[in-house]
Chains A and B, each alone.
Chain A
Amino acid sequence: MTVLRIEDLHTVVRSRGRDLPVVRGVSLDVDAGEIVGLVGESGSGKSFTALSVLGLLPEGARVTSGRILVDGEDLVALRERDRRTRRGSTVAMIYQDPMTALNPLMTVGAQIAEGLRAHGIRGPEAKRRTLAAIEEVGLPKPDRIARSYPHRLSGGQRQRVVIASALALRPRVLIADEPTTALDVTIQQQILALVDELRTEHDLAVLWITHDLGVVARIAARVAVMYAGRVAEQAGTRELFAAPQHPYSAALLASIPSPTDTERGPLPQIGGAPPDLAALPAGCPFEPRCAYREDRCATGEPEPVHRGGSDTACFVPRERWGVRGDAMEEPA
Chain B
Amino acid sequence: MIEVTDLVRHYRTGDGVVRAVDGVTFSVAEGETLGLVGESGCGKSTTAKLLVALERADGGALSVGGIDVRTARGPHLRQLRRTIQLVFQDPYASLNPRRRIAATLAEVLTVHRLARGGTVAGRVADLLDMVGLPGSVADRYPHQLSGGQRQRVGIARALAVEPRVLVLDEPVSALDVSVRAEVMNLLASLRASLGLTYVFISHDLGMVRHLCDRIAVMYLGKIVETGGWRDVSDEPLHPYTRSLHDAVPVADPAVESGRAHRTLRGEVPDPAAPPSGCRFHPRCPIAEDACRTDEPVLTVRGDRAVACHLV
Residues of A within 8 A of B (CB): 41-42, 154-157, 184-190, 192-193, 211-218, 237-238, 241-242, 251-253, 255-259, 261-262, 264, 266-270, 273, 331-332
Residues of B within 8 A of A (CB): 39-40, 132, 146-147, 176-182, 184-186, 188-189, 203, 206-207, 209-211, 230, 233-234, 243-244, 246-256, 261, 263-264, 267-268
Q: Name the B residues within 8 Å of A42 (CB-CB).
A: 147, 176
Given contacts A213-B251, A242-B254, A268-B181, are A185 and B39 in contact (CB under 8 A)? yes
Contacts A42-B147, A185-B244, A238-B253 aside, 15 further interface pairs with beta carbons under 8 A come to A155-B40, A185-B203, A187-B267, A189-B263, A192-B249, A211-B176, A214-B250, A238-B254, A241-B252, A269-B178, A270-B181, A331-B185, A331-B189, A332-B182, A332-B185
Inter-chain residue pair count (beta carbon < 8 A): 127
The answer to whether B264 touches A189, judged by C-beta atoms less than 8 angstroms apart, is yes
Minimum CB–CB distance for B39 against chain A, Å:
4
The answer to whether A269 touches B251, judged by C-beta atoms less than 8 angstroms apart, is no
Closest 9 CB pairs of A and B: A214-B249, A257-B210, A255-B181, A184-B39, A267-B181, A189-B247, A213-B251, A41-B176, A331-B185
Minimum CB–CB distance for B184 against chain A, Å:
6
Partner of B250, one of A211, A251, A259: A259
Partner of B251, one of A154, A238, A256: A256
Q: Which residue of A lies closest to B283 (CB)?
A: A186
The answer to whether A256 touches B206, judged by C-beta atoms less than 8 angstroms apart, is yes
Cα A263 to Cα B253 in complex, Å, equals: 22
Minimum CB–CB distance for A281 against chain B, Å:
18
The answer to whether A184 touches B177, judged by C-beta atoms less than 8 angstroms apart, is no
Partner of A332, one of B39, B189, B248: B189
Q: Name the B residues within 8 Å of A266 (CB-CB).
A: 185, 188-189
Minimum CB–CB distance for A276 against chain B, Å:
12
Q: Which residue of A lies closest to B39 (CB)?
A: A184
Q: Name the B residues within 8 Å of A212 (CB-CB).
A: 249
20 examples of A-B residue contacts, CB within 8 angstroms? A41-B176, A186-B264, A188-B249, A189-B246, A214-B206, A214-B250, A217-B251, A218-B249, A218-B256, A241-B254, A252-B178, A256-B177, A256-B251, A259-B234, A261-B210, A264-B211, A269-B182, A270-B178, A332-B132, A332-B185
Cα A179 to Cα B189 in complex, Å, equals: 34
Q: Chain A CB within 10 Å — which of B39, B178, B189, B243 has the most?
A: B178
Partner of A214, one of B176, B186, B251: B251
Cα A266 to Cα B183 in complex, Å, equals: 10
Given contacts A185-B244, A257-B207, A267-B210, are A252 and B177 in contact (CB under 8 A)? yes
The answer to whether B178 touches A41, judged by C-beta atoms less than 8 angstroms apart, is yes
Cα A210 to Cα B177 in complex, Å, equals: 11
Q: Chain B CB within 10 Å — which of A211, A218, A241 has the most?
A: A218
Cα A294 to Cα B246 in complex, Å, equals: 42
Partner of B268, one of A157, A184, A257: A184
The answer to whether B185 touches A189, judged by C-beta atoms less than 8 angstroms apart, is no
Q: Which residue of B lies closest to A191 (CB)?
A: B263
The answer to whether B185 touches A259, judged by C-beta atoms less than 8 angstroms apart, is no
Cα A187 to Cα B248 in complex, Å, equals: 10
Cα A259 to Cα B244 in complex, Å, equals: 14
Q: Name the A residues within 8 Å of B254 (CB-CB).
A: 238, 241-242
Q: Name the A residues within 8 Å of B178 (CB-CB).
A: 41, 251-252, 255, 269-270
The answer to whether B39 touches A186, judged by C-beta atoms less than 8 angstroms apart, is yes
Q: Name the B residues within 8 Å of A215 (CB-CB).
A: 249
Cα A13 to Cα B196 in complex, Å, equals: 45
Q: Which residue of B lies closest to A237 (CB)?
A: B253
Cα A214 to Cα B203 in complex, Å, equals: 14
Q: Name the B residues within 8 Å of A332 (CB-CB).
A: 132, 182, 185-186, 189
The answer to whether B177 touches A193, judged by C-beta atoms less than 8 angstroms apart, is no
Cα A186 to Cα B283 in complex, Å, equals: 11
Minimum CB–CB distance for A62 against chain B, Å:
26
Q: Which residue of B lies closest to A329 (CB)?
A: B182
Cα A122 to Cα B111 in complex, Å, equals: 66
Minimum CB–CB distance for B29 against chain A, Å:
18
Cα A212 to Cα B289 in complex, Å, equals: 39
Minimum CB–CB distance for A200 against chain B, Å:
15
Q: Name the A residues within 8 Å of B246 (CB-CB).
A: 189
Q: Which residue of B lies closest to A256 (CB)?
A: B251
Q: Which residue of A lies closest to B41 (CB)?
A: A184
Cα A253 to Cα B178 in complex, Å, equals: 9
Minimum CB–CB distance for B56 against chain A, Å:
27
The answer to whether A188 touches B247, judged by C-beta atoms less than 8 angstroms apart, is yes
Cα A266 to Cα B181 in complex, Å, equals: 8
Cα A109 to Cα B48 in complex, Å, equals: 40
Cα A154 to Cα B270 in complex, Å, equals: 10
Q: Which residue of A lies closest to B40 (CB)?
A: A184
Minimum CB–CB distance for A202 against chain B, Å:
20
Q: Which residue of B lies closest to A184 (CB)?
A: B39
Q: Which residue of A lies closest to B189 (CB)?
A: A332
Partner of A273, one of B40, B146, B253, B261: B146
The answer to whether B263 touches A241, judged by C-beta atoms less than 8 angstroms apart, is no
The answer to whether A217 touches B250, judged by C-beta atoms less than 8 angstroms apart, is yes
Cα A218 to Cα B261 in complex, Å, equals: 10
Q: Name the B residues within 8 Å of A186 (CB-CB).
A: 39, 243-244, 247, 263-264
